[in-house]
Structure 1
Amino acid sequence: MYKLTGGALDKIMNGIDIEKPVLQILGYKKLPSNTNKPPTDRYRLLISDGQRMNSFTMLATQLNHLITDNTLSEYAVCEISKYALSSVNNGGKEKRVMLVLGIELIAPGEEVKCKIGNPTNVEAKPEPGNSNQPHSSTAAHQNGAAKQEKKVSNYNSSSDIATTPIAALSPYQNRWVIKARVTHKPPIRTWSNSRGEGKLFSIDLIDDSGEIRCTAFRDMCDKFYDMIEVGNVYYFSRCMLKAANKQFNNLKNDFEMTMTNDTEIIPCHDNNDDIPGMQFDFVPISRVEQKEKNDIIDVMGVVTTFSDVQHLQQRSTGRDLTKRDVNIVDDSGVTVCVTLWGKQAEDFDGSNNPILAIKQARVSEFNGGKSLTIFNTSVVTKDPDLPEAHKLRGWYAAGGHAETPKSLSRQGGGGDFNAPLHTFQEVSDARLGDKLNAADPYTVVATINLIRVENSVYKACPVDGCKKKLIDQSTGVFRCEKCNKDFPNFSYRLIASMNIADATGSRWITAFNDDAEKILGMSAQELGELKENDNDAYMQKFGEASFKRFTFSMRAKSEVFQDEMRVKHNCVSVAPLNYKTHLTYLIDKVSKLAHIEKVDSN
């Protein structure tokens, strides 16, 4: 017969900490959701200690799988490794509720087969004046009250502040304090619509029971934004709790918090090792292919390649956007493109193959492939101190870097840096660009032989997005045929026709403004002014670019010119050569040609 911890429920419901009680599951009930959005199921348990049974017991949502996979079946005997007490309004009276945060199965229900003992219903007897105080078994302190009962103050043994676990928060009671670590704080956002304008910011909070989002609007932004720092622990109280809007909130919590004029946030300077950092639920990159468009997932991978920053304009609003594409791979042998936006794109440095841990990436689809997009609630952590990251680094160093992964992403949009690396001889052999009206992407490592100086700098239309070459009317006025307007001013732009070569051949290619600026090391405006004021220095700039080596992302496309078919090679992007990555590629290629299974690049 299995031995239960007799009398445990009476003690627990009266605030006495019982370490790892052994209890029996007599049943459960699925509760209705309080939100109209896709709900997270919540389960109410009927438990027994052999003497008493209690139905005011909730299972933390992160343990729901124990219900769905039938682990916590009727008559199952379990050890409660962690729990917390909260209170709810039950018919006008405060009722204590036990929240199960950790549970271990001792014996399945089909093995036990019967109810142990003859338990009667428990009626908790909260101490006067403490019915609203939450409790937990995770950190107890002495109260000094009669009977020397151990009052449980969650997560905080060195402070008089009693706290409630995030998982125990309920809209039916508002006298709570949570102690949580801030894991994410994006910049303040503004809005303007027919109803007015304002600003907001949101933070993600975590304790060892779960996560929750907290949002501040208008004046609360000014009051709290600067004082809150990511990674620090705070006490939060007097926030409004409401159903989470799952359209904008992907955390695993049915509720979210909103700061009010009464909200209090107090820094916690105690030892906070018991408050976890950011939690990830990593999905192998190989499984991204099975995900639906707009699914939100956590992934981790080693950066293999990354594009330059690209500037584009949103069609619907005309707003200027900044993006960067990053390729990551993991030990599932699959690579995927991740798109960074805004400041994250501008600040990103992918040199030396860092590991990226990404929380809440959105799955995108393009040209039949899958990619990932970072948005405002996503968190990107470089080289995290996680066991999974150390394991991935070991795999990559031991030979993963030399493997040829399967790519889930397809070329398109702002760049084709995912295109295969070829020599010019391989481009010819593969007949890239031979098909009319179809562009073939490829990447080549090549050296600049010559840049044509004539017509490289031109006077362009000053209208954003036009870029058309202006007609100089020799009257101080310039005409744009595309816009059908005359302008007294212009902007300089670059178009560089150049010959580049590798060991197998050469090609004439065309690089446009942004890439030409990178090659020449000056902006189009600076070069245009240099041409007007110092032609010798202008010519010297083009000479200095010769014999420089770059990685070129190219598109080869057939076109008809003067009744003759020819292949035109346009530069999509250009980047300095990453010698470490290129050396790894060459060693792998030589190994295959020489039928060597493995060459140690170290």
Structure 2
Amino acid sequence: MEVQLTPGICTRINNPSISTVDVLKRRPVVQILRAVQVRRNSAVPDLEDYWNIVISDGEHWIQGFLGKELSCMAENATITRFVVIAIQRAYRNLERSLFIVQELEVIEYLDHRIGTPQVLRIGNNVSLTPSVPATPSSPASQPLPPRTPQISPPSSTMKTWRIADLNQYTNNWQIKARVIQKTPLLSWSNGTRSGVRFNVVFKDASKEIRAVSFEASVHQQLEENKIYLISDARIDLAKWGNAKYEMQLSRQTKIKECPDSVDVPAVVNVYTPLQDLNTAETNAACGNSTFSAFCSPLIGLEDVIAVLIDLGPIEAKTTRYGENVMRSLVLVDETMNQTTLTLWGPKAKEFDCETGAVISVRRAIVSRYQGVLSLSANSDTTTEIDPSIPDAQRLRRWYRSLQDTGDFEVLSQLSISAREPPTLLIQDVIRLEVDEGSRKSFTIRAIATRIMSDRLMYPGCPSCRKKVIVDDGKWVCSNSECKENISEPRY
């Protein structure tokens, strides 16, 4: 019996009164009549190729696209002409004539078309015709559904989008946002290539978005606390942090400075007092970063401002990523608490400041080790020495009034460390001196480099824990030569 397609699904996809959830809730079954790779305009080399598809419900056919995550299925011929699929997840935007299949299940491979589908028309227009001009990568070798003239959208001023409304499938967009943070240019190398990169954070009235760029010319166009119109940037899934998307700025990205505007919020410096770091909530997004590999459990990201009272030397450290250098700064604030800020790599080498200066740190990583809280900096963290803001002036006056008589308290979480065993490094565990017959509890965070599946565990004697073997249906201990009906697993 031939597989049954979901009748009328093409019409439902084009019905604005039916939500995308309702369209997909029964996993509609359709047939793909064509899958062609389309190449973007060669004048914009940073834009990626995509796949145009024609789907049919047996009565009508419409055009759509495959999401980036499904491109490999088309490239390795998992998605071919006449294949029957069930759509599990899709993105639909009728105003922009977009229907993008993001997740699917292959039902059956056929060698013929089901039914006699006709192009679906709404009024005088062809429904869901791709609005992106493109050129197929190779001529189609099989007959295609009948072609109809494509109608170009009317020319108009580009719409300004809210950052919160951006996604990977948004076309012809621009945002109006303020630069609230920009990192210096950092060098990178992967063995075969090298270059520079930097991060920048834009903010409008709806949200913030992080952007990355590998172009020094783009770095020169942007200044902190200024407003810009940004367009022709690529939107990707965020690789770090709790945001869903991030942008990549290229040479083709259009950047235009705008006058200050009331609809774009100004930069407001909101710093967390050091004593309030004790109550910082766990930031789950931090666990996805490369810093989660270290022993210190991550708590979150915070902006702090404090006085530098001690500056450690530059030290060489070996991490899982290779050789690196670090430098420790001891900071205090008006709460009479002190904490350590660790700088890594170029930040550690380039930091030059005298004690007594006020340091502003934005997006510092808060971590805890053996109950003691500390801060560390990554590529997104920015530091500013003696900023010209009221908070810095107030801290400077406060520190001068102490006249070196301040007795600062080490910032800690005693309530937590009292309940939890200490977190130790492997080298600390090896050096532990534990009396015979006594026990010591501790927590360790480490990476398993090898698991031996054949010797992960062995059956042991319940009394002496030695290995036992099976003999005549019973477990025999080689040490005591006793036979038992049971054994205990030993690891």
TM-score range, shorter chain: 0.3 to 0.5
| TM-score normalised according to structure 2 size | 0.43
| TM-score normalised according to structure 1 size | 0.36
